[in-house]
Structure 1
Amino acid sequence: MIMTYEWVQIADSAEELSRMILQSEQAEQYRQAYHAVYDNKELADEITAFARLKELYEEVQRFGKYHPDYKDVMKRIRVDKRKLDLNEKVAELRLAENELQDLIDQVSFIIGRSVSEAVKIPSSNPFFSSDSSCGGSCGTGGGCSCSA
């Protein structure tokens, strides 16, 4: 591919957009929340332990209730997950992640739509989803794999 002036402009614009996102309030809040969680050694250790427990949980799930540690692992995963979910710093990090993801989804949506209405835009937010397989007039559900 030959780098034309137009491609250089596109690359420059992409870099500028990237810098703007990284300098956004959402990105700064995410960085602060991330550091609040992972600079706290005790909390970071809890998250690491939970990640190991999730691996054990996946192994137990393969065998179901026939696994010798099934009940213990199922109880521990629920208790530990709830403990992390109720941690204020973890909740703030999740909120900051969602806010940053929403910003990225909005930017992706705007860029995609500037190219074409038919561009598929992956998004964690259904508002920005471009999946039109359920659009139009099916209305019955099922026929186009949508639910009524």
Structure 2
Amino acid sequence: MSVTHTEVTAEPAEPAELEPCGQRDHPDCGIRDVLDRVGDKWSVLVIVELANGPRRFRQLQRDIDGISQRMLTLTVRRLERDGLVLRTVYPTVPAQVDYRLTETGASLTHLVKALADWSLEHRAHIARARETYDSEHPDNEIR
């Protein structure tokens, strides 16, 4: 376990500004940076799971079908870095760790759950549309 990763993480006192990319014609780079994180498929699934309450690492891994240990580790660390997930290490042997949403992360759950619900409701239509597109464009490489 990392020496720097043994305590409860805390939300930063003052949110830092996201750096714009510096290009005049890209004023939305800060927005894209945030959306890249919260729109990432694994991040969405982790947030959906943590919306139901704190989870231990293995619990998250079992509940999120198809995620590897490495990808889950990267995802929760990125969400922790962004102040959306709180990681708590309990001083037991072996150490127990749980993850929970911060206040900022919890404020995102209704949006993420709405997106997940929308996905479930429309997945059959999207599958049919893809089949139609692929049959009409047999040489396409879009997947």
Range of TM-score over shorter length: under 0.3
* Bigger relative contact order, structure 1 or 2 (CA pairs below 8 A, ≥6 apart): 2
Give the structure with the larger strand fraction: 2
Structure with bigger gyration radius: 1
Give the structure with the larger helix fraction: 1
- Normalised TM-score (structure 1): 0.24
